[in-house]
């Protein structure tokens, strides 16, 4: 059985309890009803919804591991968060390869290390859950473990450090930080991340801040 309910916030709650072969026909028939008028007003656009409200300006770090195709949609999201009220401070934390691309779009960049080309090559070579024997014999697993550790540390640094992450850690070297300059201080208020960045949930738990994960 399939039921669909339009909620007040514009979402559709669909519940499915069906295992028969007629499921496909049933689903098609039910989905055809979704365009029918419901009496609910469409949800208010986000920008309009927050206008005139006391919404705090947040430090948002966006953690991304992957190719340019993974990074680019988050850059677009970051621009929207930065350019619309309440004009959040947005930091894109990703591979150093994309530093120029991020900064030319007017967003802060923080390097988490790693080489996306090497990552993609490893995934092509080992498409399954477990690495192949060739990767084990050639030491690829050890190399990937070292690279992932570097990126995990980079993700944590992106939540609590000023700068762009391209140099040594500045934690414990606070004499270089100007407490009167807001740009010299960055503590994340929220994290947005793609799932392969892995460290996201641990960073959010440690800082007790919200985490939003999304694939592009």
| pLDDT band (50, 70, 90) for residue 216 | confident
- Nearest residue to 212 (alpha-carbon basis) of 87, 47, 64, 14: 64
Contact (Cβ atoms closer than 8 angstroms) between residue 147 and residue 196: no
| Packed helices 140-160 and 200-207: angle between N→C axes, nearest 10 degrees | 30
Condensed to tens digits (0 to 9), the pLDDT of residues 91-101 reads 999 999 999 99
Listed ranges 4-8, 89-93, 164-168, 170-174; the one with the highest mean pLDDT: 89-93
| Domain 47-213 part of CATH 3.40.50 | yes
Stated pTM of the model: 0.69
Q: How far apart are the first and last CA of the chain?
A: 31
Give the Cα separation of 91 and 105 in Å (integer): 12
Question: Which of 35-49, 108-122, 140-154, 165-179 is predicted least confidently?
Answer: 35-49
Instruction: For the chain, give every domain's residue range.
Output: 2-43, 47-213
Asked whether the beta carbons of 2 and 16 are under 8 A apart, the reply is yes
| Coil vs helix vs strand at 88 | coil
CB neighbour list of residue 183: distance below 8 Å, 6 or more residues apart: 162
């Amino acid at each position: 059985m399939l039921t669909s309910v339009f909620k007040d916030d514009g979402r559709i709650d669909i519940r499915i309890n069906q295992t028969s072969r007629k499921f496909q026909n049933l689903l098609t028939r039910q989905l055809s009803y979704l365009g029918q008028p419901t009496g609910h007003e469409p949800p208010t656009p986000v920008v309009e919804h927050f206008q005139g409200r006391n919404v705090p300006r947040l430090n948002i770090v966006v953690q991304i591991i992957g190719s340019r195709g993974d990074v680019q949609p988050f850059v677009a999201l970051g621009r929207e968060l930065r350019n619309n009220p309440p004009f959040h401070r947005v930091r894109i934390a990703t591979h150093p390869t994309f530093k120029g691309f991020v900064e030319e779009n007017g967003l802060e960049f923080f390097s988490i290390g790693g080489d996306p080309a090497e990552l993609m090559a490893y995934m092509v070579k080992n498409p399954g859950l477990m690495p192949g024997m060739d990767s084990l014999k050639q030491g690829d697993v050890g190399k990937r473990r070292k690279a992932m550790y570097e990126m995990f540390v980079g993700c944590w640094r992106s939540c609590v450090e000023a700068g762009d992450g391209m140099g040594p850690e500045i934690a414990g070297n606070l004499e270089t930080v100007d407490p009167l300059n807001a740009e010299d201080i960055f503590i994340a208020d929220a994290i947005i991340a793609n799932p392969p960045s892995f460290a996201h949930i641990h960073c959010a738990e440690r800082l007790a801040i919200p985490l939003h994960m999304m694939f592009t």
